[in-house]
Amino acid sequence: MDRSAEQAHSGGTTRTFLLVWFWLLAFTGLEVFLGYEQLELKLMIILLMGISIAKAALIISYFMHLKYERRSLAVTLMPALVMVIVLMFVLFPDGYRLLQMQRH
């Protein structure tokens, strides 16, 4: 087996994981920064959900090694990911409505 096939099978390099770790750290810092900003609630939720989805994609792809697996495994897990995202967007309006009810 040649070296490139070995490296692709092993899952990545230290440099790749450090780069992913840096991006996760940057996204977390952005989330903390946004937490202190006075943004409209809907905008804040959209921004934080988008960043969280990006972080989850990085973690799933690199740290859980899904990027290096066969496509069939990724395709098997995608419906569950889509379902979770859909459920979050279905349930968030209820949470927003409850927040508005508490303020009145």
* Res 2: pLDDT: 47
Which structural domain, as residue segments, surrounds residue 60?
3-103
pLDDT band at 3 (very low <50, low <70, confident <90, very high): low
pLDDT, tens digit (0-9, with 9 covering 90-100), for 17-62: 899 999 999 999 999 999 999 999 889 988 998 999 899 888 888 8
- 5 vs 44: which has the higher pLDDT: 44
Q: How many domains does the chain have?
A: 1
- 26 vs 84: which has the higher pLDDT: 26
Return all residues near 28 (Cβ < 8 A) that are at least 6 apart.
55
Is the distance from CB of 92 to CB of 41 less than 8 angstroms?
no
Residue whose structure tokens are 């990724």: 74
Q: Is residue 6 pLDDT above 80, yes or no?
A: no
